[in-house]
Amino acid sequence: MKSIKKMVLVSAFAGTCLTTHAQATPPAIPADPAIEANIRQWLQRMTLEQKIGQMCEITIDVVSDLETSREKGFCLSEAMLDTVIGKYKVGSLLNVPLGVAQKKEKWAEAIKQIQEKSMKEIGIPCIYGVDQIHGTTYTLDGTMFPQGINMGATFNRELTRKSAEISAYETKAGCIPWTFAPVVDLGRDPRWARMWENYGEDCYVNTEMGVSAVKGFQGEDPNRIGAYHVAACMKHYMGYGVPVSGKDRTPSSISRSDMREKHFAPFLAAVRHGALSVMVNSGVDNGLPFHANRELLTEWLKEDLNWDGLIVTDWADINNLCTRDHIAATKKEAIKIAINAGIDMSMVPYEVSFCDYLKELVEEGEVSMERIDDAVARVLRLKYRLGLFDNPYWDIKKYDKFGSKEFAAVALQAAEESEVLLKNDAHTLPIAKGKKILLTGPNANSMRCLNGGWSYSWQGHVADDYTQAYHTIYEALCEKYGKENIIYEPGVTYAPYKNDNWWEENKPEIEKSVAAAAQADIIIACIGENSYCETPGNLTDLTLSENQRNLVKALAATGKPIVLVLNQGRPRIINDIEPLAKAVVNIMLPSNYGGDALANLLAGDANFSGKMPFTYPRLINALATYDYKPCENMGQMGGNYNYDSVMDIQWPFGFGLSYTNYKYNNLSNCSKLILQI
């Protein structure tokens, strides 16, 4: 059941009523006495080195035999396992081997080897974490779902829960127990390269979707994560989506009320619904890195909410306190600051000096034994809750629904519900069968573009190598309308991948598309962005590329009706070409079934129902979110001081058309509605 209005109305109220009396707050997750007794026993008999090892997380690259892997496929290095697990007692590993998705059998084999080593050397299982961001990102042949921003556009909690449940099942099919998802950053700055990873700009939508995803990932009982579920890791705590410069991992300046009411809201709700872990925002807010912020980490999250879950850093972020932020003179001091602020596990991730430094800090009295025991208890608790002590690895044969048609149908439904119809003048859509279609633009025949980042690889650049089973927009339209009715002439193409050059385009061939338009009844221009992820996705101009805008302008001159299909991770500015189009569909990043979904929608075999999860800007100096203040939209004041301030946006939050006409009447007073919710 979709209820967009309810979501919007209560947004401003989310996350406000929080008690400050820790004693009075019931535990966010009820403690399990048997688990707690086991933890106490471990803490009594573990050495300091063993305890610190549990707080350390290393990337799989460090324990990989890279040379042999290059020749024969991925394999681990026994010698490095001896150092990392044998000597340093490291309790957690992360990331995908060799930087690309692996078969589930390969995963299971590697994790079995890691777990056997861990149980032999430490007697405590390792916890392996992976970024399964939109479905099984890193397990080949699994089910990919639309990116978070698309799931936000569905406004469908149940679909979000189901997609997380399927992703958990398929993650477990590779013996992996922990996913670094869901992403509940509020994407409130359209310049930001990670806009597409979360559920949009609104705290309530992120809260509802985040909670649904946690339930889907973890199942009903956070103390007993079953065979088909994984531990969720909410990220990135918090306020990551509003960097002042618009660039990834650059400082924010968030007011206390926005932090409390908006950015904190999804974490508050998810923790209350049993979220087992949280990853910290890499950034700096009002001068203080989040990884050093004791108030936000320990007070707000652990004490105020009486939450016994685990806080893990993001990639290398303790080191960053020294090398990037300069709030610590040495790496050792950075560790002291972060652990004392409330970090339980450091995603180091390339070396083990964290263990040596932290040991020295404890011996010097700079970090208390109490803090270490608290952090280790949280790590062990997570491992017990996941059942890893009893089953550090398992037989993967029972996961026979992996990559099934049943799962694919849910991903297709999600893609259909997530693509947003923004304009449909003169009923240009649906396009009748038998029409000749010119398909153009750099995104028309690319699985990489449909998927975006976190797809088979971090930057998503290898997606086309692994997705032969799925349809690009071109292939899906050929299936739907017949190949003879589709003229494919891209006009603009992206340059081949080299050093994260996602924005580069080849020399345009616009004249070829224009010539081809003569044969067509209608033009579908698939424009937008190529895939990128995190900091490499930074940009300095949000305007859509000049080549792509020129392509649309040249095609408009032919007089043929144009449908714009926007396939992009963030809203690129298109105010000069939007008036040239009869219809506009914002498909964002709908993933492997996004081409089929689009074909169904364009043909009218499915109806549009997606709504904008963010405000689409019209002008670069007018970036906005829907929850602006009255003074931002007041027209011109009378008198001498004729200030003016108007919201000038392309499409508002919540906007989305369909093939159905709706008439609203007899609306009742808003305050009454709020009371009913």
Q: Which is nearer to ligand BGC, 279 or 478 (CB)?
A: 279
- Smallest distance, Å, CB 314 to ligand BGC? 5
Q: Which is nearer to ligand BGC, 95 or 545 (CB)?
A: 95
What residues from 261 to 280 belong to the interface with ligand BGC (CB under 6 A)? Answer: 279
Q: Which of 643, 92, 570 is nearest to 375 (CA)?
A: 92
Q: Which of 170, 261, 304, 314 binds ligand BGC (CB under 6 A)?
A: 314
- Smallest distance, Å, CB 432 to ligand BGC? 44
Q: Which is nearer to ligand BGC, 282 or 591 (CB)?
A: 282
Site membership for ligand BGC, residue 235 (CB under 6 A) = yes
Determine whether 2 is exposed, middle or buried from the number of CB atoms within 10 Å of its CB (0-12, 13-18, 19+).
Answer: middle
The 607-636 site mask, x for binding ligand BGC (CB under 6 A), equals ------------------------------
Which amino acid would we find at residue 433?
K
Q: Which of 57, 258, 534, 578 binds ligand BGC (CB under 6 A)?
A: 534
Site membership for ligand BGC, residue 315 (CB under 6 A) = yes
Site membership for ligand BGC, residue 202 (CB under 6 A) = no
- Output phi, psi for 268, to 5 deg: -55, -50
Q: Which is nearer to ligand BGC, 235 or 618 (CB)?
A: 235
Site membership for ligand BGC, residue 185 (CB under 6 A) = no
* Cα distances (angstroms) measured from residue 485 to each of 513, 521, 523, 537: 15, 10, 12, 36
CA atoms of 487 and 490, how far apart (whole Å): 10
Based on the residue annotation, tell me whether 464 is a catalytic residue of this protein.
no
**Cβ–Cβ under 8 Å, residues 494 and 566:** no
- Smallest distance, Å, CB 444 to ligand BGC? 30
- Smallest distance, Å, CB 139 to ligand BGC? 15
- Smallest distance, Å, CB 401 to ligand BGC? 26
Q: Which is nearer to ligand BGC, 192 or 481 (CB)?
A: 192
- Smallest distance, Å, CB 344 to ligand BGC? 16
- Smallest distance, Å, CB 152 to ligand BGC? 17
CA atoms of 552 and 360, how far apart (whole Å): 63
Q: Which is nearer to ligand BGC, 99 or 604 (CB)?
A: 99
For the record, the structure tokens of 571 come out as 């809203």
Strand partners of residue 266: none
For the record, the structure tokens of 83 come out as 């150092």
Site membership for ligand BGC, residue 457 (CB under 6 A) = no
As a residue count, the chain comes to: 677
The 543-582 site mask, x for binding ligand BGC (CB under 6 A), equals ----------------------------------------
Q: Which is nearer to ligand BGC, 50 or 95 (CB)?
A: 95
Determine whether 673 is exposed, middle or buried from the number of CB atoms within 10 Å of its CB (0-12, 13-18, 19+).
Answer: middle
Q: Which of 352, 455, 362 is nearest to 100 (CA)?
A: 455
Q: Which is nearer to ligand BGC, 136 or 472 (CB)?
A: 136
CA atoms of 343 and 359, how far apart (whole Å): 15
Q: Which of 601, 602, 558, 556 is nearest to 579 (CA)?
A: 556
* Cα distances (angstroms) measured from residue 228 to each of 60, 64, 270, 360, 643: 24, 27, 20, 41, 59
Which amino acid would we find at residue 100?
V
Q: Which of 57, 109, 121, 131 binds ligand BGC (CB under 6 A)?
A: 131
- Smallest distance, Å, CB 131 to ligand BGC? 5
- Smallest distance, Å, CB 570 to ligand BGC? 17
Q: Which is nearer to ligand BGC, 457 or 600 (CB)?
A: 457
Q: Binding-site residue total for ligand BGC (CB under 6 A)?
A: 9
What residues from 96 to 115 belong to the interface with ligand BGC (CB under 6 A)? Answer: none
Whether omega before 590 lies within 30 degrees of 0, making that bond cis, reads no
Determine whether 474 is exposed, middle or buried from the number of CB atoms within 10 Å of its CB (0-12, 13-18, 19+).
Answer: buried
Strand partners of residue 424: 583
Name residues whose C-beta falls within 8 Å of residue 150's C-beta, 6 or more positions apart in sequence: 414, 415, 418, 419, 587, 588, 589, 590, 591, 610
Site membership for ligand BGC, residue 95 (CB under 6 A) = yes
Strand partners of residue 616: 651
Name residues whose C-beta falls within 8 Å of residue 442's C-beta, 6 or more positions apart in sequence: 449, 490, 492, 493, 494, 505, 526, 527, 530, 548
* Cα distances (angstroms) measured from residue 394 to each of 90, 220, 286, 388: 21, 21, 46, 10
Site membership for ligand BGC, residue 538 (CB under 6 A) = no
Q: How many helices (H) and strands (E) does the chain have?
A: 24, 20
Which is catalytic among the residues 189, 308, 314, 596? 314
Q: Which of 74, 145, 178, 180 binds ligand BGC (CB under 6 A)?
A: 180
Q: Which is nearer to ligand BGC, 14 or 292 (CB)?
A: 292
- Smallest distance, Å, CB 128 to ligand BGC? 12
Active site residues: 314
Residues that bind ligand BGC (CB under 6 A): 95, 131, 180, 235, 279, 282, 314-315, 534
